[in-house]
Structure 1
Amino acid sequence: MYIKRNLERKFLKLNHFFKVMLVTGARQVGKTTMLKHLAEGTNRTYVSMDDLLARDLATRDPALFFQRYKPPILIDEIQKAPALLTEIKRICDETEEKGLFWLTGSQQFQMMTRVQETLAGRIGILHLYGLSQQEKRGISFTEETDFSMDSLLSRRAEAEALTIGQVFQHIWEGGMPGVQGVDEETRQAYYSSYVETYLFRDAAEAGGVTDSFKFGRFLQASAALVSEQVNYSTLAQAADISIPTAKSWLHLLCGLDVLYLLPPFYNNALKQLTKTPKLYFNDTGLCAFLSMWLTPETLMMGAASGHYFENYVVGELMKSYAAGRNKANLSYYRDGSAKEIDVVIEENGVLHPLEIKKSANPDLREVRKFELLDAATLHRGRGGIVCMAGDVVPVDEKNALIPSALL
């Protein structure tokens, strides 16, 4: 059964403005499925660059390729045939038709740079993550949130609260559409195959990784550091590789959209801020698999449960803003005194600070840390503590307890 994606609204809107639309994201998050669903009932051609014959033609003779596969077209895994980009530019420059080319691709840095250089002004780029808790529940909030009581209460009216068991079922299950609702044995087989057939192969093709054993250990070490500051020395030691190789592999996994590095908050008016990013997985199910959490119950009761809850909250925020109308920058605050704010959302020149606590009754004094941002050159707006509270509860005039189900 097809699960409606919240990114569909934004994609269809921008499709009427740009000649080319590119949807990036990790393998198996549903990019092709979403675009095929949107193309139903139209005459849009579909071709995958995983097809060796099609890829060979695209590489040898891009002009002939588009005689064989005529636009409007959906091209899957465009990063495997970068020679097509120049021909796409030529065709776009000869027509005013919008939405002529739909592309999907893994967000590798070299590919993205070439796309942006070749198709500047002609392409709209959107990012699709795995399924969010909203999408699994069939919810699409009608309004963006500014973390005010009114907007939070409006969302509360649209979404029921989640139990801690439901949240960790979502965390453990992850967001890959192909693994939803399967049993534990099938889930383990899915993720094992995902690592061996996609990650190892893509790492070899995109980054020249030849030692799959050490790369597997690197993946496991990354999962062990989830929601922590990146430590290249620890990663290198765990995988028995050099620190430069650890940096290269981490950069590669970010390019493959497996990992996400949350940047540290920076502001000219604040001193002694950390420069080290924090490490998160774009799919918590993959992270749980790599760390051998075999059931949602053991994950929920385990020592790392707070880190997984933080990863889940950061992931839900990223998915929400990727599909939303407003652009926002996410970061985290940490200074030389080790004072930390889990997430700082910068939107429209306003800072929204958030703490993340796997508790239904967190310490309300946590919001006092938000005053650290008052010295910044940007205005501090509303924020709060994202937690397992069953309802929206005001803490003070600017902050509230925010149920995680409302993100």
Structure 2
Amino acid sequence: MQHIHRTLAETLKSVSTVFSVVLVTGPRQVGKTTLLRDCAEPGRSYVSLDDLDQRTLAQTDPALFLQLHKPPLIIDEVQYAPQLFSVIKSLVDQTQTRGQYWLTGSQKFHLMHGISETLAGRIAILDLIGLSQAERDDRAADQAPFTPTRGWLEAARTKTSSSAVMDVYRTIWTGSFPAIALNPDMPRDIFYSSYIQTYIQRDVRDLTRVGNEIAFARFLRAVAARTGQLINYADMARDVDVDQKTIKAWLSILETSGLVFMLQPYHNNITNRLVKTPKLYFLDTGLCAYLTQWSTPEALEAGAMSGAILETYMMAEILKSYWNRGKAGHFYFYRDRDQKEIDLIISQDGMLYPIEFKKTMTPSLGASKNFAALEALKQPVGDGCVLCLKDADIPLSKSVWAIPVGYL
């Protein structure tokens, strides 16, 4: 399988010079272990808590576990033994050595309570999701986090991937998990079927006590079918046949596990006419397409979800451009009661950058007509863009550009 340099590697090395402990979180199979092993210096040892013997020792005698496994150390799947955190705190406080412990965790919702209580100020937390298109094209190192500014555009223009419609949808349909994205011989349906059974359902059952696995499987399909949409808890509860409280709890699990992203609506004190419901994005488009039963990239491109899943892909690529550099980013969407909507707003340094996602090769200025609604917010508005399927960028107006998805 092809080896890909992960953008987060530079961030990991950098924060290890400042913090004693680094935790890399994200869904299973996104490459957390590979990332840490690739970055490890000679002499850094490795232990996985997927090993039941090691897990039992870490849970029952964490002090002995850490005496046997000395730093510098990688501990994989640390969510299985939160008992380790207090002992790690004691050890790093004694030595004050930076980068002693590198941890991975596939279930951040299970980890955060123990970490916030014991390792606050001592730990850097980094999020890793699937491969970005820039990583696959080996151009991520030269590309800043996405904002639709002239400077970003000029830099991105020099190294781009194809925006041909079927090339984009083939990438979307395949997904971003390294095991399938980098291995054309991997049977896609078997990979995703096994992923759901082995990782999602097992981890959720073990760590959150979800009792009804059949209903949870229906829930996963319902979430995937609603990617790119405003969340309607009542509608989803009817489809899954559970109550709204359960839907909210299960969505929280998926969000903190790194499988979905909730895009919050923009609001300030100027107007109370803005929608307050978040939008939902399924972060791996291949898993989303599998759950919604699209059998080929061609069927997906021609089908009812074509626009929503392209929007989902664009949103995920923008998120990766920030998260892979250890930056949170400030992302919102705009929708008011007059049905004026802007797909994405990036807020940076007091400036709002409006972005539209469009499945078109010929965007018009009309695609950005709702950008003017931001004037009511009384905040500076920067350059905007329409992300689309064109092969090259073009100006749509003095302050709005059409930018190919291949630039992301």
Which band: TM-score by shorter chain? over 0.9
Q: Structure 1's 184 and 213: CA in aligned 2 closer, same or farther, altered over 3 A?
A: farther
| 1:208, distance to aligned residue in structure 2 (A) | 1.1
Whether the aligned pair in 1 keeps the contact of 2:352 and 2:382 (CA below 8 Å) is yes
**Alignment check: 8 A CA contact 2:127 2:326 kept:** no
| Aligned partners of 1:141 and 1:155 also within 8 Å | no
More off after superposition, 321-330 vs 292-301: 321-330
* Alpha-carbon offset, residue 110 of structure 1: 4.1
Q: Deviations over 1:347-379 (max 9, x none)?
A: 122111100001111232122211211222431
SS of corresponding position for 2:187: helix
In structure 1, what is the equivalent of residue 209 of structure 2?
208
Paired residue for 1:345? 346
Residue 108 of structure 2: aligned partner: 108
Partner of 2:134: 134
Unpaired runs of 5+ residues, structure 2, are none
Aligned amino acid, residue 47 of structure 1: V
Alignment pair present for 1:22 and 2:1? no
Tell whether the 8 Å contact from 1:327 to 1:347 is kept in structure 2 after alignment: no
Query: Is residue 33 from structure 1 mapped to residue 34 from structure 2 by the alignment?
Result: yes
TM-score normalized with structure 1 length = 0.96
SS in 2 for 1:97: coil
Unaligned runs of 5+ in 1: none
Deviations 1:155-211 (A, max 9, x none): 111224421111111110111011125569811001001101111111112221122
How many aligned positions are there? 406
Residue 315 to residue 146, structure 1, CA distance change in 2 (3 Å): closer
How many Å apart are 1:343 and its aligned residue?
0.4
Query: Which contiguous aligned blocks of 4+ residues in structure 1 show a shift greater than 4 angstroms?
Result: 181-185
C-alpha separation in 2, matches of 1:405 and 1:221: 29
What is the Cα deviation at residue 114 of structure 1? Answer: 2.2
- Normalised TM-score (structure 2): 0.96
Residues 153 and 392 of structure 1 are in contact (CA less than 8 Å); yes or no, is this contact kept in structure 2?
no
**Would the alpha carbon gap of residues 284 and 98 (structure 1) be closer, same or farther in structure 2, given more than 3 Å must change?**
same
* Superposition deviation, residue 308 in structure 1: 0.3
Matched, 1:148 2:141: no
Contact 1:188 1:289 in 2 (8 A): yes
Counterpart Cα distance in 2 of 1:324 and 1:36 = 18
Rounded to whole Å, the distance in 1 between the matches of 2:382 and 2:135 is 28
Deviation string, structure 1 residues 23-62 (Cα, Å, up to 9, x no partner): 11011100011111111x5111111111111111111111
Aligned-partner Cα distance in 1 for 2:35–2:186: 27
* Structure 2 residue 76 is matched with structure 1 residue 90: no
Contact 1:226 1:307 in 2 (8 A): yes
Report Cα offsets for 1:136-160 as digits up to 9, x if no partner. 1122152425422342022111224
What is the Cα deviation at residue 390 of structure 1?
A: 1.1
Question: Identity of paired residues, percent?
Answer: 41
1:332-371 aligned at under 5 Å gives the runs: 332-371=333-372
CA distance in 2, matches of 1:185, 1:177: 11
Specify the alignment match of 1:380 in structure 2.
381
CA RMSD of superposed structures (Å): 1.6
